[in-house]
Structure 1
Amino acid sequence: MEITKLYESWCKNAVEDQDLIAELESIRGNEKEIYERFYTALKFGTAGLRGVIGVGTNRMNIYVVRQATQGLANYVINKYGKGAVAISHDSRIKADLFMIEAAKVLAANGIKTYITTELQPTPVLSYLVRYFKCQAGIMVTASHNPAKYNGYKAYGEDGCQMTDNAAQAVYDEITKLDIFSDVKTMDFDEAIEKGLIEYVDDSVYDSYLDCVLEQQVNPGICADADISVVYTPLNGAGNKLVRKVLSKIGVKEINVVKEQEMPDGNFTTCPYPNPEIKEALQKGLELCEEKQPDLLLATDPDSDRVGIAVKDYDGSYRLITGNEDGVMLTNYILSCKKANGTLPEKPVVVKTIVSTKLINKLCEKYDCELKNVLTGFKYIGEVILNLEKKGEENRYLFGFEESYGYLSGTYVRDKDAVVASMLICEMTAYYKKQGKSLAEVIDGLYEEFGYYLNQTFAFEFEGAEGMQKMADLMSSTRENLPASVGKYKVVKVSDYQLKKETDLVTGEVEQLTLPTSNVIALHLEGDNGVIIRPSGTEPKIKLYITAVGTDKVNAIAVCDEIVAASKQLLGL
């Protein structure tokens, strides 16, 4: 439909949300603003939907949410005949409204829907899908994006985010629908009365917490070690459950950052609420200076990821990377379970291909199988599912990704900042009883295995022209593979789109079994490496650099050389 006609159609039909009515009127006659909102539609993918809140097909609003949910309903009915769906939300602007609107569409299609009475962490939604044996799940969140964004994560019956095939099937259904005339909806109170929409009982959250508590490695150690914590939920969904689980394991002193304690989708004190960046943790770090805790914990708005800072040798607070936290947690779980005799036979640890290779050394030390998967926690969930099918789920110990996502246990199929926060506190207490800080622990691992420095760099390519440039860059790299990056020889190339791995030393070629993905990994001598991939959610090319040195200074020098050579190689 021509954009002006599309705009007029919205003016005529979008009459239920006063904010949208006002926005439509405010852009009347402004071709640029109208174009920006209507030139395309948000595409439904494995991460569901994500976009700026506002009016139009290229924005997050009740009509886009309804249309997507009708597509999901059609998919569920086509595949299962009937079904059930669980829905929750975080603290995002209009998140509770979008949850209700999605529930009304599902109910109108005869699909039983379970909704939460208040905001909940994303892993709880994954748990609800499995608990109620649903065929799908919806989490209304935009993760760590700025306040103007909202989103809609879709889950399959296994509690993992949707696979490529399932997401494509839902998208195909969505594209058949007129956003106004082809979407069913019903009165919310009527749906409640008919039992088509049901609120989740508090006892279900208690059962989720019981599953989290089962992942303790050394129960009672937090009370014995008397640790203190500064915690910030970054105005998101983690506040209640993280504090509750920490209290249950014996953390007596939990100092919460007051400005970031309560849900607030405006994120006024952390405009980019991402625990990966220092600015988001600034308020927490300020409180650390006052309280002098053992640990700073920060969970992102939907509480599936957690960042930490620990006291350094000079009394300041050191930010710990996602890779470092993942390595320490893996080491803690493996070493303690081996010592207390609870390490299963043939234990399994899972990491994404862009996460640190230091974990390889740890797994070798403990004779643990390491599985590498593509970026996206659903692939870690898939490993758990495959183990479960063989009756071997107890072999799974831990999974993590460099972007601060961790999971111990098989009760959910997504990263979980609640269980990660618990284990981080337990780990802190364990080493405190030995007279060690976590700064000393990670430095000790570097001394034992080598200093593995991992850095991620992102390069933006805006608009349609930018997307083409990204595609050309990946094709050019694939067709002109380098013999070296700087002074470091390329010894192996893994191409996840061509699904082959070539050993440049022996000439041997192996087939890769992971799903097809537009990713190229250059393995360099000395265990160094460069991974190149387009972002799945943003118009960016990402470089993941691994630099190995004898110490931090040496590793930084190695990293700088590899980064400079990689940028020159790719023309960035």
Structure 2
Amino acid sequence: MEPSLVNKVNEWLTPTFDEATQAAIREMMTTNPKELEESFYKNLEFGTGGMRGIMGVGTNRINRYTLGKNTQGLSDYLKQAFPGEALKVVIAYDCRHNSDTLAKVVADVFSANGIHVYLFSELRPTPELSFALKHLQCHAGIVLTASHNPPEYNGYKVYWQDGGQLVPPQDEAIIEVIENVRYDAIQFTANADLIEYIDSAIDEAFVASTLANASFNTPKEAREGLKIVYTSLHGTSIKAIPAVLTAAGYTDLNIVKEQAEPNGDFPTVKSPNPEEPEALTMALQLADAIGADIVIGTDPDSDRLGVAVRNTQNEMVLLNGNQTMIIMTAYLLEQWKRAGKINGKQFIGSTIVSTPMMLELASAYQVECKVGLTGFKWIAKFIKDFPELQFIGGGEESFGYMVGDAVRDKDAVGATLLVCEIAAQAKAAGSSLFQELLNLYLDHGYYKEHLISLTKKGISGLQEINQMMIDMRQNPVAEINGQRIVCIEDYQTSKGRDVLNGSEFELTIPKSNVLIYYLEDGSKICARPSGTEPKIKFYFSVNAPLASLEEIGAVEAILDEKIKNCIADMGLDA
């Protein structure tokens, strides 16, 4: 091993670390040196959705020491940022293994630093943490979650005063403080008087807020007439979504019982990710058995939702994140328009890897569409940075949506209520959610997106991902699928280039390792290493006008062929 790596390992064999940790390291030294290297070769870093990693010992793992170091650094920073104030934080956690004990470790460190801690007594959805932070007027919030990652993962997400995740400049400043924290300086001994457990009172306030933000005067008969199948995929949304839908008046709610119990092993699915069709298999089977109108599934921490509805052949189909985002945004815009609330001082939010159709909707309703990097922290930052504008709603392709600004992160609880409102009203009017989507394509053009996600684990995987991005930057192709590349945006250099005339322009979005190609036929291809998983993702967006619904099959076939050819040209179909 490299000397720097040996030094890291040796530090963890000192009395600063408990005997169990030292014993686990010695075991790896003799039986699994490769795992030892993987555990220490780098420090876990904050990515798109906070810090996520495999649980275990070492600097590249989630454990009491890496999270204790984060929390000690955050405590130090809070004291610098708010001198003389009585500091308050709120902590929530999900269904994952060790989430409850790690949450208590985090609470202990905060309290040992003289900070008042509100700690949820049981697991709760991530959006409730964002809500609780503002509701309790805290300075920061933490949620222990790894979202939809596999069972061996956990994570640590930090939220700031506005209820949104850390963004510049706080993130870089906090990370700098954390990096300077020594492990022997972490204060683990709790001040029990400063830890206050919270539960039902916050739950009731969260439900009331969700009803106020995401319900739209749907008639009682329409709500009762919508047959819903819902699965929490063993996660936290079971603590909120049934209560919200029941309070709203949805009486025909059918829960997938086999997946209703929170369980960090996620025993009935390969992946607890509603982006994956397999995850909703049991829900779709129940929907067909009872003739349901809509299926909704959420990920473990309840920030993402998957939606399946009946198509024009009465078959259940899973909508992608771009489609659900378009449906919900168009509905909200129409509601605001009918209420006379659109006056040019409103905006919707999206991301650079999401469907360009959001820009079309914004133009049609004469509102602004603010586009940021991947992750809802950037949409939340727009709300904070532009207080003179009203935020209507926003989303991203990865199955997340945010209704209004009561929650400053993607919120599967509010989005579930909203999509049920749309479906119930459509059904009562003799339409359907799927038909409403087709109508939007007719009005604004048919946009179709596709995602290729390549998993590259470990040290070699990270090197391979880095090399792929280097190759695309240093050796850019001139055309894809017979279409010239007319523009390239490189968010790592903050430079865009008009390929046809050679001119360059500045990108105002913060730097990120993202590369986007724009083709002359309006297609868009984006390459982006994930900030939270060992993956590199390629996003494809193609579009075409749609003159009539009768043409949709032929137009869809053309778009599918475009995507297929683009993937082949880029060598991603192997």
Same fold (TM over 0.5): yes
Q: Please say which of residues 271-280 and 68-77 is displaced more in the overlay.
A: 68-77
Aligned partner of 1:199: which letter? Y
CA distance in 2, matches of 1:450, 1:250: 35
2:421 corresponds to which residue? Answer: 426
2:497 corresponds to which residue? Answer: 502
Q: Give CA-to-partner distance per residue, 1:67-88, whole Å, 9 cap, x none.
A: 2211211221222235222111
Q: Give CA-to-partner distance per residue, 1:416-465, whole Å, 9 cap, x none.
A: 11110000000001111121122222222223333211011123444444
Out of 509, 512, 524, the position equivalent to 1:529 is: 524
Out of 17, 41, 44, the position equivalent to 2:43 is: 41
Shift of 1:264: 0.9
Say yes or no: does 1:29 pair with 2:27.
no
Say yes or no: does 1:203 pair with 2:204.
no
Out of 9, 18, 24, the position equivalent to 1:6 is: 9
Answer whether contact 1:219 1:249 (CA < 8 A) is retained.
no
Answer whether contact 1:346 1:367 (CA < 8 A) is retained.
no
CA distance in 2, matches of 1:302, 1:477: 35
Answer whether contact 1:483 1:490 (CA < 8 A) is retained.
yes
Gaps of 5+ in 2: 547-554
Shift of 1:506: 5.1
Partner SS state of residue 438, structure 2:
helix
2:308 corresponds to which residue? Answer: 309
1:84 corresponds to which residue? Answer: 88
Q: Please say which of residues 279-288 and 26-35 is displaced more in the overlay.
A: 26-35
CA distance in 2, matches of 1:14, 1:286: 49
Instruction: Note the 1:68-217 alignment, pairs <5 A.
Output: 68-81=70-83, 82=85, 83-179=87-183, 181-187=184-190, 191-192=191-192, 194=193, 196-200=194-198, 202-216=200-214
CA distance in 2, matches of 1:282, 1:9: 44
Shift of 1:562: 1.6
Percent identity for Structure 1 against Structure 2: 36
CA distance in 1, matches of 2:220, 2:420: 7
Say yes or no: does 1:257 pair with 2:256.
yes
Answer whether contact 1:349 1:370 (CA < 8 A) is retained.
yes
Shift of 1:8: 8.4
Answer whether contact 1:523 1:530 (CA < 8 A) is retained.
yes
CA distance in 2, matches of 1:380, 1:95: 27
CA distance in 2, matches of 1:498, 1:33: 35
CA distance in 1, matches of 2:49, 2:538: 21
2:335 corresponds to which residue? Answer: 336
> TM-score normalised to the size of structure 1?
0.91
CA distance in 1, matches of 2:8, 2:538: 42
Aligned partner of 1:79: which letter? A
CA distance in 2, matches of 1:511, 1:24: 48
Aligned partner of 1:257: which letter? V
Partner SS state of residue 411, structure 1:
coil
Answer whether contact 1:297 1:306 (CA < 8 A) is retained.
yes
Q: Please say which of residues 365-374 and 217-226 is displaced more in the overlay.
A: 217-226
CA distance in 2, matches of 1:21, 1:152: 23
CA distance in 2, matches of 1:369, 1:9: 52
1:233 corresponds to which residue? Answer: 232
Shift of 1:343: 3.8
Instruction: Note the 1:329-408 alignment, pairs <5 A.
Output: 329-388=328-387, 390=388, 392=389, 395-408=390-403
Aligned partner of 1:515: which letter? P
Shift of 1:9: 4.3
Shift of 1:10: 4.3
Q: Please say which of residues 57-66 and 296-305 is displaced more in the overlay.
A: 57-66
Answer whether contact 2:47 2:532 (CA < 8 A) is retained.
no
Shift of 1:28: 6.0
Aligned partner of 1:184: which letter? Q
Partner SS state of residue 527, structure 1:
coil
CA distance in 2, matches of 1:258, 1:224: 25
Shift of 1:217: 5.2
Q: Give CA-to-partner distance per residue, 1:115-162, whole Å, 9 cap, x none.
A: 111111111111222222322211000000111111111122222111
> TM-score normalised to the size of structure 2?
0.91
Answer whether contact 2:51 2:532 (CA < 8 A) is retained.
no
Instruction: Note the 1:439-458 alignment, pairs <5 A.
Output: 439-458=434-453
Partner SS state of residue 355, structure 1:
coil
Instruction: Note the 1:551-570 alignment, pairs <5 A.
Output: 551-567=555-571
CA distance in 1, matches of 2:149, 2:467: 28
2:549 corresponds to which residue? Answer: none
Answer whether contact 1:7 1:38 (CA < 8 A) is retained.
no
Q: After TM superposition, where is structure 1 displaced by more than 6 Å over at least 4 residues in a row?
A: none
Q: Give CA-to-partner distance per residue, 1:511-545, whole Å, 9 cap, x none.
A: 22111122221111232111122221233322111
Aligned partner of 1:161: which letter? Q
2:486 corresponds to which residue? Answer: 491
Partner SS state of residue 494, structure 1:
strand
Out of 212, 218, 225, the position equivalent to 1:220 is: 218
Answer whether contact 1:222 1:426 (CA < 8 A) is retained.
no
CA distance in 2, matches of 1:464, 1:35: 9
Out of 47, 63, 66, the position equivalent to 1:64 is: 66
- Identify if the C-alpha distance between structure 1 residues 554 and 369 changes in structure 2 by more than 3 Å, giving closer, same or farther: same
Answer whether contact 1:232 1:261 (CA < 8 A) is retained.
yes
CA distance in 2, matches of 1:400, 1:223: 29
Gaps of 5+ in 1: none
Shift of 1:280: 1.0
CA distance in 2, matches of 1:7, 1:251: 58
Partner SS state of residue 176, structure 2:
helix
CA distance in 2, matches of 1:469, 1:343: 48
- Identify if the C-alpha distance between structure 1 residues 94 and 461 changes in structure 2 by more than 3 Å, giving closer, same or farther: closer
